[in-house]
Structure 1
């Protein structure tokens, strides 16, 4: 499945616009991560536990968007975007969305 943040591909023409596709996941913080993160704030620097959790969340949302596009018969997703929002204290939604299309050379 081809994806791009642009609205087209250089080597392909959009044959048909299928429509909006999206994937999301909601994640909560982990007590273990919070303890380690609290200690890291004393000395500063990256908090790799949270970086890992954020990357995994984005990947899961992306994967779910791709699955939806495939179910609709798309070849690609254009206009790909990511978003986040707070749902509850200590939790966040990760959203990936774009426009599913079919392509021709």
Structure 2
């Protein structure tokens, strides 16, 4: 599966646009991670517990988007983006989205 943030893929042409596709995940740090993050926030600097959680969440959201695109019959996703938001005080929503397409080499 080719996934790009651009409208075009060099060396390919879009043969068919299948439509929007997305992958979604919601994550929350456990109590231990929240305590460690709270302690780190007092001292300043990167909060590695949250960085790791968000990296994993982005990967899972992208994997789910790719699965959904495959189910639609796509072999590429163009204009891929991430979006995120908060749900409550300790949950993060991450969505990967784009346009599922069928491409062919030029």
Give the TM-score band, short-chain normalised.
over 0.9
Matched, 1:2 2:2: yes
Q: TM-score, normalised by structure 1?
A: 0.95
Q: CA deviation at 1:29?
A: 2.5
Q: Within 2, Cα distance between the matches of 1:90 and 1:38?
A: 12
* Unaligned stretches of 5+ residues in structure 1: none
* 1:42 CA displacement: 2.6
TM-score normalised by the chain length of structure 2: 0.94
Partner Cα distance (1:86, 1:49) in 2: 16
Q: Which residue number in structure 2 is paired with residue 20 of structure 1? A: 20
- Residue 34 of structure 1 and its aligned partner are, at CA, apart by 1.2
How many positions carry a matched residue from both structures? 105
Whole-angstrom CA distance in 1 between matches of 2:69 and 2:5: 15
User: Separation in 1 of the partners of 2:5 and 2:43?
Assistant: 37
Runs of 4+ in 1 over 2 A off after TM superposition: none
Matches within 5 A, 1:1-105: 1-105=1-105
